[in-house]
Structures are given as C-alpha cells and as structure tokens.
C-alpha cells in the first residue's frame, strides 16, 4: 500500500502559501493570425506563446486562423503575444 509522502497538515500549509502569493486575473483573448498553413505552424505558435510567463493555456485553430490565449492579466498582456507571434513569422490581424 502506498502512503502519502507528506503529512496532511504540511500539504495544507503549502497550498495555503501558494494561494496567498497573489490573486490572479485570468483572461482569455482570441487573436486572428494570418500565415498558418500546417501543423508545424500550429506547434511553433503554441511553443512561443507557452514560453511566456503568465500564459496559462494556448489553443490554435488552423482552419479558422485563430489563436486563443488564456493568461494572467496581472502578469502579461496582449502586446507580448502579438510580438511573439510576429517574431515567429506570422501576422496578427486583431
Ligand atoms: Cu506550417
């Protein structure tokens, strides 16, 4: 039988500390991206966006040419996503 590595109180204390650090303002934005033509493009865009601090999730639709980013607005903003996408070689329409 496998037992938990940490006593319950210790785990609860750790979660408490994490929760206290800072309140997150999670937001989602959809960007229209031009120039994506295959799965490689999708992977590239996901990689550059996921590398940005504050980005929580990325979803790319090749068919619709849309990139959805879920992020902490207290930590990062849309300008950083546009820069990253453009640096990777694509155009952001809005
Ligand atoms: Cu491609």
Q: Output the CA 71–ligand 1 centroid distance in Å.
A: 25
- pLDDT at residue 2 above 70? no
CA atoms within 13 A on the CB side of 48: 18
Q: What is the pLDDT of the chain when averaged over all its residues?
A: 88
What's the structural domain count of the chain?
A: 1
Residue 75 confidence class, pLDDT cut points 50, 70, 90 = very high
Tens digit of pLDDT for each residue in 11-55?
556 666 555 567 899 999 999 999 999 999 999 999 999 999 999
Q: Residue 82 is part of a domain; what is its CATH number?
A: 3.30.70.100
Does 65 fall in a domain?
yes
Does 17 fall in a domain?
no
Q: Output the CA 45–ligand 1 centroid distance in Å.
A: 10
Structural domain span for residue 30: 23-92
Does 3 fall in a domain?
no
pLDDT at 60: 98
- pLDDT at residue 3 above 70? no
Residues with CB under 5 A from ligand 1 (ion): 37-38, 40-41
Instruction: Give the DSSP per-residue string, 16-74.
Output: HHHHHH----EEEEEEEEE---SHHHHHHHHHHHHTSTTEEEEEEETTTTEEEEEEETT
Does 4 fall in a domain?
no
pLDDT at 23: 83
């Amino acid at each position: 039988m496998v037992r938990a590595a940490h006593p319950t109180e210790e785990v609860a204390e750790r979660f408490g500390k994490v929760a206290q650090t800072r309140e997150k303002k999670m937001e989602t934005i959809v960007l229209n991206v031009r120039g994506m033509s295959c799965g490689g493009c999708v992977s590239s865009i996901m990689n550059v966006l996921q590398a940005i601090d504050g980005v929580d999730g990325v979803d790319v639709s090749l068919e619709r040419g849309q990139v959805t980013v879920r992020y902490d607005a207290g930590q990062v903003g849309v300008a950083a996503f546009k820069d990253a996408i453009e640096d990777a070689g694509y155009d952001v329409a809005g």
